[in-house]
A and B are shown apart, each in its own frame.
Chain A
Amino acid sequence: AQTVTQSQPEMSVQEAETVTLSCTYDTSESDYYLFWYKQPPSRQMILVIRQEAYKQQNATENRFSVNFQKAAKSFSLKISDSQLGDAAMYFCARNNAGNMLTFGGGTRLMVKP
């Protein structure tokens, strides 16, 4: 089975500081997409950032950036200048056939004021 693993069940960061969430995945394909989703207490999954596997350049979206290591099958999320509103569950995911996503177990991020 192709899996996605998030080894940090919980992380904590001080407001305005930087935190990195880890993700590793398993795949036998060469082309695929990787995603980070945020799930706040409202439960709605929100796409944070997306990476295309064939692109070597790491994706960035404002304060969010990824470190994509294709050979190591690693896809970490860096949040800079953390804000209280960043507190949520974060899920790493990769696509399979069609729009099917395989998710990791999630990392709960707490932001301390």
Chain B
Amino acid sequence: KAGVTQTPRYLIKTRGQQVTLSCSPISGHRSVSWYQQTPGQGLQFLFEYFSETQRNKGNFPGRFSGRQFSNSRSEMNVSTLELGDSALYLCASSLAHRWSTEAFFGQGTRLTVV
């Protein structure tokens, strides 16, 4: 069974631009969560989507947004990019919204803002 797929794997953007990252969960999984990983702040939760609805949101500015489609694929968007947005963005999929469900991670998208 295919794992969690994140595209693109690498991305270089200029300050002020916007970017969209994509995550395709494991087939049958309906929950998708996004995390930002940086050397300084570590792994931080961005948001979780389940059945096309945002269920939880982390402490990030409104420039960070996301959505989920009916096939459970999810996208996250960052507008007006800042240098500090350079990070590894990880997506995780889970079968359900229940907190005991195991999360499976993708390989991430490495975003560099110059």
Contact = CB atoms under 8 A, between A and B. Distances in A.
Interface of A: 32-33, 37, 42-47, 50, 52, 91, 93, 95-106
7 contacts: A42-B107, A43-B108, A91-B43, A99-B33, A99-B48, A99-B94, A101-B33
A90 to B, nearest CB: 12
Chain B interface bracket (under 10, 10 to 19, 20 to 34, 35 or more): 20 to 34
A95 B101 CA distance: 10
Contacts, number: 69
Nearest to B50: A98
Contacts of B31: 98-99
A104 B42 CA distance: 8
B55 interface: yes
A37 B90 CA distance: 13
Contacts of A98: 31, 48, 50, 55-56, 97-99
B45 A102 contact: yes
Contacts of B107: 42-44
B34 to A, nearest CB: 11
B106 A44 contact: yes
A98 B107 CA distance: 22
A104 B104 CA distance: 18
A-B CB proximity, top 8 nearest: A45-B105, A103-B43, A95-B99, A44-B107, A100-B56, A99-B94, A43-B108, A98-B55
The residue in B35, B88, B103, B108 that gathers the most chain A C-beta atoms within 10 A of its C-beta is B103
B90 A100 contact: no
A45 B99 CA distance: 18
B31 to A, nearest CB: 5
